[in-house]
Amino acid sequence: MAGQAAGAPKVFPARDAQYIGGKWRPAAADARIDVVAPATGQVIGRVPAGDARDVDAAVRAARAALPGWAATAPAERAARLAAARDLMAAGRAEIAATVSAELGAPPAFATAVHADLPIRVMGSFATLAAEYAFEEKIGNSRVFQEPVGVVGAITPWNYPLHQIVAKAAPALAVGCTVVLKPAEDTPLVAQWLAAVLDEAGLPAGVFNLVTGLGPVAGQALAEHPEVDLVSFTGSTAVGRRIGAVAGGAVKRVALELGGKSANVILPGADLARAVNVGVANVFANSGQTCSAWTRMLVDAARYEEAVELAAAAAAKYVPGERLGPVVSAKQRERVRGYIRRGVEEGARIVAGGPEAPEGMTAGYYVRPTVFADVRPEMAIAQEEIFGPVVVLIRYEDEEDALRIANGTVYGLAGAVWGADEESAVAFARRMETGQVDINGGRFNPLAPFGGYKQSGVGRELGAHGLAEYLQTKSLQF
């Protein structure tokens, strides 16, 4: 399995079963979900379309396992996560091959990001599980951090393993039990992880997996009365519904939702580097990144130069080579629809366009697209497209740039480029967003990730992500 024999990496085969109570068991219903390879449009596997009966069985298994796992020493929980991390590292090639097949990510990107990042995150929570202060003394009180209980995790397809690990690893680290409903487009790597966690020695019922459709299995999980916290990553529209359900039940919720992040290039910044890194940020993962810097803001004096640089950078992203497909035919049409809408609104295409990429007769490919002459109020500057589309917006001065940067309902991420770190940080501190990269700062999997405004509630990763799955008790003496 995770440590299979040397040779060409293989895609993890689909299992026609749900992982519940430590066993692979038949689904309650006969319905199945086709897993389609975005690069070819061909079916590569089928998994169960679970329903409320599967969810209920999984939640009951998680509830039964909760007392024992919550009482397990943090060092032992850490050891199980470390074992999972080691198995994941041994199966790195299999992760990459599986994600390449079901998501369409180019192999190099699948290895460097879709495999290596979740391996690193799993390891970080193994360390935190052993080191975290679950108890402290405050005056005449002892304050305890205890697991919130059964966690329902609902994850998206764009980073299919990372998003699962970012929820399951901290929940397991603190003593919660988990029921996972992965995205129906990318269930294979989720099944792979379930097998790994089983091999790592997690007790039966501590981690459970139900594949199924969002409006069926996902809704059943969010609504289940025995789920104590729902952690969801996906669209803001669905997040609102989950938040409403959780609020009605007075249930904890963590929501990582949409984004329309600004890449602000201040006067005096290294324009060529800022533009090239900005384009790369958007086109990575075929634009299917909630935190992508999809709005590039450039001062009027250097705007046309930035447009030329962005168009040249986009030319390097050849569909089928450096640029993979989007996840589905539905997503492809959504992205192309936004490109057409941008033209209708008066924006100028300087690279790409809504037409199919030349010579690409199969697969869900979109031409990498750059828009110029974009006004802040246009749909392509306000709404999350989730494809390889970047828009360039002109600003007059820093106050104008700040107004534009903060002028959406989202606040997930962003970037600021300045002539010096001090000026970039000063601007970033005024941005209404949860995470900002300064002059090309690298992603840090130990730093809190999450958004302001309609980009979500709560944080993932590191100690802040761990805290989402804890509740506080104080004893007075």
Residue 263: phi and psi, rounded to 5, are: -110, 100
Q: Does residue 176 have an active-site annotation? A: no
Which conformational region is residue 363 in: left (phi greater than 0), alpha (psi within -120 to 50 degrees), or beta?
Answer: left
User: Among 184, 223, 256, 460, which one carries the catalytic annotation?
Assistant: 256
User: Among 94, 290, 384, 468, which one carries the catalytic annotation?
Assistant: 290
Q: Does residue 304 have an active-site annotation? A: no
Residues catalogued as catalytic: 256, 290
